[in-house]
Structure 1
């Protein structure tokens, strides 16, 4: 029986906020999520001392659009970020769009971003035009070259230079330096790791993507394991490649976890750990053999006879880890299994800060369920991802996810429609889009009608005509 919904106690003291975002981390890649090979003791600590959101979904499936959704509580096409951003200086997130950082800065927070931005490069779209007082990290899409797990080019104090060291360690170093400062106001620190994104400009001997170089204390834990993979019986799955990638990926996740431990230790040493609202999440999810593909919404087949494109909005591309720790305000050891969205972070953080948004967010505050109250009515999750026209496939995808059903459509019809009965097929293995079963046809019709009605509501046009 669910508990009656109750309003959380009023905020009497504004908390510090540490908002940690990883890059391309699947919800499955943590010990607390049940993966037998993951080594994530510090993330597992956050789960045991706080709340784990098991059904938390990104509103898009690729870096830039998913980050725009998190940052603004708007859908990616509403803010003009359909796909990952490259070097076009005229494409980026409009600084006039309200964001988490701009709302908290206006309320008196000390705002800093350390790590990955990827919402436009150059002065026009710089993080400091979006509410951050300071930025140390990488814009992505500028002329700094490909990003890697070691010796990255980092912008600090407006100047870019190559910094020796492992990228995850360096970002944690900058975060620790920030935390050591004396300050009169609460802080909002966005710590955006590059890991566990696969490296750019680095490849294996046969030209494949890799997560190397990896620090020995991360890689040594995984280099000799025989990792579990999600569906070894998938036809023509390139199992050796999946296992090699999985070992490297989990080591990269460990580099994040290890450095989060360092940041938590710094908060503890300063006596402010329990005064800090800590959120851990990722921009989008990740596939490693799931559905026969690897990567995210712009995935590729990982088969012995096919390495081509496979655009998708599968749950593995959309479901992301989500942990929240804030003693006495967030229930410890709680699992929330009802669905929620990355659009919810802006209203949630502002709620904890006692700040009323200057606009109406698409998401909703999670403060009540995080405190242990009933989560309210079950929610439907909408997904949106439009590939750039120059992309080989050029898919324009939408998804509609209820508790029972999952619909995926490509408005350009380059990818077949997919329809899954989640209540009996949670891994999305059997596509029912061509089923003749009247009950399934009726359910699919209802989902399509609801999807198109929502698209019309948010101005996502042109809305297809259902037939």
Structure 2
């Protein structure tokens, strides 16, 4: 009998479980408003064509939980992203690790709370700090497994040469160093500035073209493309050919243009016969700014209320993720690192990495790998999610305790409207103790 690889064992085992569960109806609470029941289309997965899947991770800047059609938006048209959800999985309780840009990105790429990485707040053009040389990014882990990686778009983890993507596992960098509301706004290729004061209306097209060139060049080896858009962050400057086309104004124009160009990248994967062995993921770094939709959730960017930290995530992996899957399990963007590294054949140090392997959730199986998730704003630990409960003990960067504590049952009250703290004093006490213990360990 031919010996199976570790990757084949995972996939075949998941296939058997899916077959056993075939025909079962799964009720999923959308938690962003109305509750809905969706039956995932069950299809027994088959082994991908290669043991190491490619990864295309698309990251939006300030897109809200309710900004995509798959999450209920009827003004902004995102047919490509919606089709990814249709062909794969949609997460309804996915969390960013922070309600602002740099710490969220640090956590995504390292699988660690940003406070451990030393990036608790947004890094500006004049920042002298950035991601440390001892940090391992997803690109670094994948390099160890034979991958080639390209960071395209917004980096925002340090603007000095020691902090560039090419110093942290990426073989190539084509993009900008921080948000498009910061100056100077220059375009870089690897470690050289190639265009000063870049035309922001061109970025969606240029980023797409860079991704397509990279994929076609590396189609015969495993690759990781991290495409981090500047859209729809203020100021919105969509491509001219999309201006005025969306019912969602410039904000919608920006998202719709990025969705269109994502379709071009997927066409490239299909044309080269590697779509079925490519994991495609689309998400956002945190909740929306002054514009955009939270899907009815409370709060926005800068808040650790649900509207500031719950984000959309859709993923497609043909022949592995059953189409039409919906996961209502509590998950974190920090989970991306251990999940992808495991699928690539590697391992992470679980004592160092806070994220958990969420591969079963991609297939609509299993339960949340987290007992608790903690939410900081800068260095103030303001809230914890534990099962259906969410406890807030402070607000803002300084940990304002006015009106605290606030306890919400998110299963019944996703909008965080009814404070139940006075009804459950023992639960408040227990969760507060967990917060204090976690924060003390974090600051050691």
Please classify the TM superposition score into its range, dividing by the shorter chain length.
Answer: 0.7 to 0.9
- 2:257: which partner in 1? 255
The separation in 2 between residues aligned to 1:339 and 1:143, in whole angstroms, is: 32
Q: Is this contact kept in 1: 2:86–2:324, CA < 8 A?
A: yes
The separation in 2 between residues aligned to 1:45 and 1:355, in whole angstroms, is: 30
Q: Is this contact kept in 2: 1:121–1:139, CA < 8 A?
A: yes
The 5 A counterparts of 1:48-127 are 48-127=86-165
Q: Is this contact kept in 2: 1:218–1:255, CA < 8 A?
A: no
The separation in 2 between residues aligned to 1:7 and 1:376, in whole angstroms, is: 19
The separation in 2 between residues aligned to 1:282 and 1:356, in whole angstroms, is: 25
The reply to whether residue 139 of structure 1 matches residue 181 of structure 2 is no
The separation in 1 between residues aligned to 2:310 and 2:299, in whole angstroms, is: 15
Note the C-alpha offset of 1:110: 0.7
The two structures, once aligned, show a CA RMSD in angstroms of 2.8
The separation in 1 between residues aligned to 2:238 and 2:313, in whole angstroms, is: 27
The reply to whether residue 275 of structure 1 matches residue 277 of structure 2 is yes
Q: Summarize the Cα distance change of 1:442–1:65 in structure 2 as closer, same or farther, 3 Å threshold.
A: same
The separation in 2 between residues aligned to 1:404 and 1:293, in whole angstroms, is: 16
The reply to whether residue 401 of structure 1 matches residue 434 of structure 2 is no
2:442 is paired with a residue whose SS is: coil
The 5 A counterparts of 1:164-175 are 164=199, 165-175=201-211
Q: Is this contact kept in 2: 1:286–1:295, CA < 8 A?
A: yes
Q: Summarize the Cα distance change of 1:114–1:292 in structure 2 as closer, same or farther, 3 Å threshold.
A: closer
- 1:453: which partner in 2? 437
> Could you list the runs of 5+ residues in structure 1 that have no partner in the other structure?
148-152, 200-210, 223-245, 298-311, 388-395, 462-467
Q: Is this contact kept in 1: 2:298–2:416, CA < 8 A?
A: no
1:322 is paired with a residue whose SS is: strand
The separation in 2 between residues aligned to 1:122 and 1:141, in whole angstroms, is: 15
Match of 1:285 among 277, 287, 290: 287
The 5 A counterparts of 1:216-365 are 216-217=241-242, 219-222=244-247, 247-286=249-288, 288=291, 296-297=301-302, 312-357=303-348, 360=351, 361-365=353-357
Note the C-alpha offset of 1:167: 1.6
- 2:360: which partner in 1? 368
Q: Is this contact kept in 1: 2:150–2:170, CA < 8 A?
A: yes
The separation in 2 between residues aligned to 1:37 and 1:171, in whole angstroms, is: 25
Moved more, 341-350 or 8-17: 8-17
The separation in 2 between residues aligned to 1:36 and 1:73, in whole angstroms, is: 33
Q: Summarize the Cα distance change of 1:76–1:213 in structure 2 as closer, same or farther, 3 Å threshold.
A: same
The separation in 2 between residues aligned to 1:277 and 1:332, in whole angstroms, is: 13
Note the C-alpha offset of 1:178: 1.3
The separation in 2 between residues aligned to 1:89 and 1:123, in whole angstroms, is: 12
Match of 1:386 among 354, 378, 382: 378
2:393 is paired with a residue whose SS is: strand
Q: What is the TM-score normalised by the length of structure 2? A: 0.80
1:219 is paired with a residue whose SS is: coil
The separation in 2 between residues aligned to 1:251 and 1:444, in whole angstroms, is: 44
The separation in 2 between residues aligned to 1:96 and 1:132, in whole angstroms, is: 15
The reply to whether residue 422 of structure 1 matches residue 393 of structure 2 is no
1:191 is paired with a residue whose SS is: strand
Q: Summarize the Cα distance change of 1:319–1:127 in structure 2 as closer, same or farther, 3 Å threshold.
A: same
Note the C-alpha offset of 1:22: 1.0
The separation in 1 between residues aligned to 2:230 and 2:214, in whole angstroms, is: 19
Q: Between Structure 1 and Structure 2, how many residues are aligned?
A: 391
1:265 is paired with a residue whose SS is: helix
1:317 is paired with a residue whose SS is: helix
- 2:29: which partner in 1? none
Note the C-alpha offset of 1:6: 9.5
Q: Summarize the Cα distance change of 1:279–1:141 in structure 2 as closer, same or farther, 3 Å threshold.
A: closer
Match of 1:188 among 224, 230, 236: 224
The separation in 1 between residues aligned to 2:173 and 2:373, in whole angstroms, is: 32
What does the per-residue CA deviation read over 1:224-283, in whole Å, with 9 as the maximum and x for residues that have no partner?
xxxxxxxxxxxxxxxxxxxxxx63322222122111111111111222111211111111
Q: Summarize the Cα distance change of 1:75–1:43 in structure 2 as closer, same or farther, 3 Å threshold.
A: same
The separation in 2 between residues aligned to 1:292 and 1:106, in whole angstroms, is: 40
2:217 is paired with a residue whose SS is: coil
> Could you list the runs of 5+ residues in structure 2 that have no partner in the other structure?
1-10, 16-46
Q: Is this contact kept in 2: 1:38–1:250, CA < 8 A?
A: yes
1:21 is paired with a residue whose SS is: strand
Q: Is this contact kept in 2: 1:85–1:141, CA < 8 A?
A: no
Q: What is the TM-score normalised by the length of structure 1? A: 0.77
- 2:7: which partner in 1? none
The separation in 2 between residues aligned to 1:403 and 1:359, in whole angstroms, is: 21
What does the per-residue CA deviation read over 1:390-428, in whole Å, with 9 as the maximum and x for residues that have no partner?
xxxxxx342111343222233844353333332332111
